[in-house]
Structure 1
């Protein structure tokens, strides 16, 4: 991007130099520090939200209400002043009953919601935002910044400061595409003879880039450093700054006088909370740090906790082989029932859900071992919970093996066991998950009435969980209850930060109902969120073409092909937009070279054959198309016309009567 770009990427080794450059661009900028050692995930976004919420609350209270989930996810301490968003059984569950965790896509959805919150604030006051130390930011902040520089509203200028251009690929690509890179000239470094250099290093929470402070800290007496870290941790804890417990506090406690005690305790608080929020990179970092600090033989329970948290994060982040190594290491070290249960269940889920090459039979063996271990673990209530939990995992495996009736029986038995052996207020989240799972099995079996009844029951228990509304909408749509399905989609949109898939599904239903404007709006929003979404691009271009807006359709086809060269669906749509017959045919044939079964390309080329008088060639193309879409009335109709034009009236009459003119 040229240096005239609205946004800037300031690259310089020292924070002071980058700050000076930002001031030179806009002296009224709002600056935040993104270093993850300060507040862990969303150090930068959280600081930004804390600065902007007063502006929004005083001038646009609805803006705060509409984005309360995102705001409190990155700045949880604001709950005391803003109140809580609609709670779900997941958010309310005590740690011992928390059996469901967020999708790894949640942070991307939060980032989109935060970008829209910033845009709303920029309508109240133009903003120049300076995010420094982005090279040392948690992946949550880097993901947010990558989206912000792409989607920022006209009233927002974004400056990103880093010490290097060596950044994660997706983050660096976004900065290269949407900002002007500005090399920051270093000012002469001057350092006084300061005996407090070590203290200043510690008080920066390890974020200093001052060479003298770094050198003095490296050379300082280890006992002095540990004492300074203890003092700083105690100071932060006394301030009651909750986000500091996700970054600075565990950083200092790990380096203090009791790393295996206070350090592990501080990191455990951090990674447990991050797990509950779906911040999996931070979970992995903290859990692995704990494993390094712990003695697995003398601290087995803490080691087990840190290891299973690390394994969960690795699995969710798409690193199942590393997760499996952790679980197998645990099984080699300890053979107690709880270790067998947790690792057996985890290995089963790896093989039935996360490994690229699924092995459901091996997964079943692992889950059966976990069930056997659960029968030996804890008091009767704990045994009931663990048995039902693992048998629910077995139900998933049986469903993956195609044994839907067995899966249904397992879920039914689990619900009955919880009702029979535990009080109604125990494990409410687990009961809702079982009901949801049973609804999915009923739907797979084609029993839509039972699936709808279960989803309605689970929504009565957990009305603010958006996934349940989405799933019920799908069932209602299959039943032909389109108005009710739209209502569920609308409610899900109200309850969650932006989810591209949700808007795509709603657009598809709108299109089916002939609500073209609404479908176009939803699909356009999907592409604003995720410009590389190929399905949405094709659907929008097709819908625009069908509605007569050929110019807009052509723009989307061209942009789609720039992102997805050679995609057959886009090429086929391009052929429909080209007036010259030879060029249109070339586009159709390109599409068919990539996908010989492309119905749109076959039908388009058939129309060109028919117009050129080659009716038998048109029939041949339409016959191939019908092999892929045998119930398409338009294809049948057009083949009947082509057959008649070719003089094969008897064959044309053999077509279904409703398809002939």
Structure 2
């Protein structure tokens, strides 16, 4: 029974029928148990009416409900999705599940529009027993459907919930009173019935009498019942049951190490292929509990998957401990090679910066390269030698040895082409071409890098990240129209991800399309409110375009999420200053600088307040620090020069104005006029006249250019 209940949306008070109720207990279907059940309930009907809408969200739909592939067809294939397990060298970041969650939420948005009217009422139960993917999806769903015709009821059994979901429930939902427990009493059911009830629930039943009957039953009988239930599910159930109920039963059946281990092996590889790293860790932990460590290859394989999951979830120290355990336990060449490479990646890029050690990473890779060269089978020897050297190339990049990194990648590509059939390891060949492009870009060889990215797009045309990377290169090369087209393609090929909109906003702003940039930055903030760089940039553009009223809610939400963020405090101070509240402005500038002493806008703002109040020394101190931080900002040098001028420090003012005149973006006419005044005070009439003449010339030229 769900003893804790929350409701959000138009029916937050509980009125209105619930259209879809789904259980989220991960023992049923593993990752996306709840979201997948919701998708299975809605998609068939939508597909009949609007197949193009379903196809637009095929990646996230099939990632949550893989059995729908027979109904709606496959999602756009990439070399990653097509690669056989032994050739799958690309792994997804943990953040990919957020893309999938956002895509599902937007599918629901479209679904409500398709309905035309009324509220879509959804109920999710057992969320405290759900996999991370469902909990993440629910947190995003609650936030992004706030104010829409979607009602969400969330029920739990009282267990812990992750911070993001707890915060979303607190902000967007209200606590409700659960209905009473309508389950039968123990007196009406015998022990056999209670045992059957527990088994049929796939271990999700929370009836204490059923659990007691299960625990009291003969161990052999329990094992046979688990086998029988698994057989029924395999014969009659959806494929996604292989991620939840099937391995649950088989690891408790008559052959936990054999059948149970196989079921967990299938589940862990599927989850790893989609980047479902919380589930990977769960499957690996369970597998190690039923498999004898003497089954060396299977045991270290699960251990390796667990370690990779920990590393990608940011738990790198725990990952290292597991890798070292495998190395100490098994002398198998493949185990040593895999863990050596993994440890190198920890030390060159995944550990926190204070733990990174590129030389140690090189030493691990030197060992793995030697092991790869000793493999008996020719194709394995070629592939693994190239793979390990590709890792070494990354370390060399981090050490700043770009020519060596380029040599390693280029040599690897040539070796694969020379020694392997063209249809083998196509994914890793594309990865090498992409990596070579990255090294070439770092070397400043942008056109060569562009050629490699164009090649890799031809090899893998449905992989969105390649268009994202090429767009950045095209922008650097000044080909902004082509860059914009690549960003658009990346967006069309992927569930929503904020990074592409952030970069496209920068591009649009550089092209003079402020409103387009604002729209993209709004999209970033909608997807990921905690992305502060996007929020700060959005606020800046809104202020620049005279949309100050739109800033207030963005600023308030930003400070709710990050109350000590200096850039946001500075903006609040700026707005207070413009509203005539100098004390509030000064307070906010002080707060901003307490959090970040190098916040230049806050230094400049506080300096202006000090100058207005007659405190020249404080103004000069803050402006001097600001100039030290941004020596090529002409406005800061002008401001400091003006303060010097007001304090009758004529020579210091001339020096600042002179330096500012040579900086890009300087207001040359105004600088020349102010410098002329200073020269006049210094008695240098010739310099004064020259500056005034130059200022008139600049002004005349500007007016002529404007008229033209």
TM-score, structure 1 length as denominator? 0.93
Correspondence list, 1:527-546, <5 A: 527-546=525-544
Question: Displacement of 1:209 after TM fit?
Answer: 1.6
Q: 1:381, CA displacement in angstroms?
A: 0.8
Query: Hey, what does 1:17 align to over in structure 2?
Result: none
SS at match of 1:457: helix
Inter-CA distance 457–138: structure 2 relative to 1 (3 Å threshold): same
CA contact (8 A) 1:12 1:186 kept: no
1:180 counterpart residue number:
174
Q: SS of the residue aligned with 1:654?
A: helix
Matching residue of 1:260: 257
8 A contact 1:22–1:130 mirrored in 2: no
Aligned to 1:136: 129
1:155 aligns with 2:145: no
Equivalence for 1:7: none
CA distance in 2, matches of 1:217, 1:571: 59
Q: What whole-Å deviation, never above 9, does each CA across 1:264-322 have from its counterpart, x for those lacking one?
A: 0111011110100111111111122222211222x222112212111111111222222
Name the structure 1 match of 2:689. none
Most deviating of 50-59 and 32-41? 50-59
Change (3 A) 1:621 1:480: farther
The separation in 2 between residues aligned to 1:373 and 1:651, in whole angstroms, is 64
Separation (CA, whole Å) in 2 of partners of 1:23 and 1:654? 68
Q: How far apart are 1:456 and its partner, in Å?
A: 1.3
Q: Which deviates more from structure 2 when the two are superposed, residues 198-207 or residues 581-590? A: 581-590
Aligned partners of 1:562 and 1:197: how far apart in 2?
50
Query: Which residue pairs with 1:593 in the alignment?
Result: 594
Contact 1:606 1:617 in 2 (8 A): yes
1:401-480 pair list within 5 angstroms? 401-480=399-478
Measure the CA separation in 2 of the matches of 1:525 and 1:267. Answer: 39
User: Which structure has the larger Rg over C-alpha atoms?
Assistant: 2
- Aligned partners of 1:169, 1:550: CA distance in 2, in Å? 33
* Preserved CA contact (<8 Å) 1:507 1:518: yes
**CA separation in 1, counterparts of 2:245 and 2:610?**
70
CA distance in 1, matches of 2:71, 2:361: 47
SS in structure 2 opposite 1:655? helix
Describe the SS at the equivalent of 1:555.
helix
Aligned counterpart in structure 2 of residue 171 of structure 1, from 165, 186, 205? 165
Q: What are the residue-to-residue correspondences of 1:130-279 with 2, within 5 Å?
A: 130-152=123-145, 154-184=148-178, 186-187=180-181, 190-191=185-186, 192-194=188-190, 195-239=192-236, 241-279=238-276
Map of 1:181-580 to 2, 5 A cutoff?
Answer: 181-184=175-178, 186-187=180-181, 190-191=185-186, 192-194=188-190, 195-239=192-236, 241-297=238-294, 299-356=295-352, 357-578=355-576, 579-580=579-580
Q: Which region of structure 1 is more displaced relative to structure 2, 542-551 or 570-579? A: 570-579
Aligned equivalents of 2:654, 2:601: Cα separation in 1: 27
* Cα distance, 1:611 vs structure 2: 5.1
Find the counterpart in structure 2 of residue 18 from structure 1.
none
Question: Can you give the 5+ residue segments of structure 2 that lack an aligned partner in the other structure?
Answer: 6-10, 671-708
* 1:323-374 Cα distance to aligned partner (Å, 9 max, x none): 2222222222221221221121122122222222112111111111111111
TM norm structure 2: 0.87
Distance change >3 Å, CA 207–CA 594, structure 1 → 2: closer
Describe the shift of the 1:555–1:169 C-alpha distance in structure 2 as closer, same or farther (beyond 3 A). Answer: closer
- Where 1:295 maps in the other structure, the secondary structure is coil
1:171-229 deviations in Å (ceiling 9; x for gaps): 22322222112242534752313332212211111111222221111111111111111
**Structure 2 CA distance for aligned equivalents of residues 137 and 653 of structure 1:** 64
The RMSD of aligned alpha carbons is 2.3
Q: Which moved more, 1:23-32 or 1:256-265?
A: 23-32
Aligned length: 645
Structure 1: stretches of 5+ with no match in the other structure: 1-9, 15-20
Cα pair 1:469 1:491 within 8 Å, conserved:
yes
**Alignment partner of 1:186: what SS?**
coil
Give the superposition deviation at 1:656.
4.6
CA separation of 1:124 and 1:38: change in aligned 2, threshold 3 A:
same
Are 1:472 and 1:488, in contact at CA under 8 Å, matched by a contact in 2? yes
What's the CA shift for 1:575? Answer: 2.4
Aligned mates of 1:380, 1:496 — CA distance in 2: 37
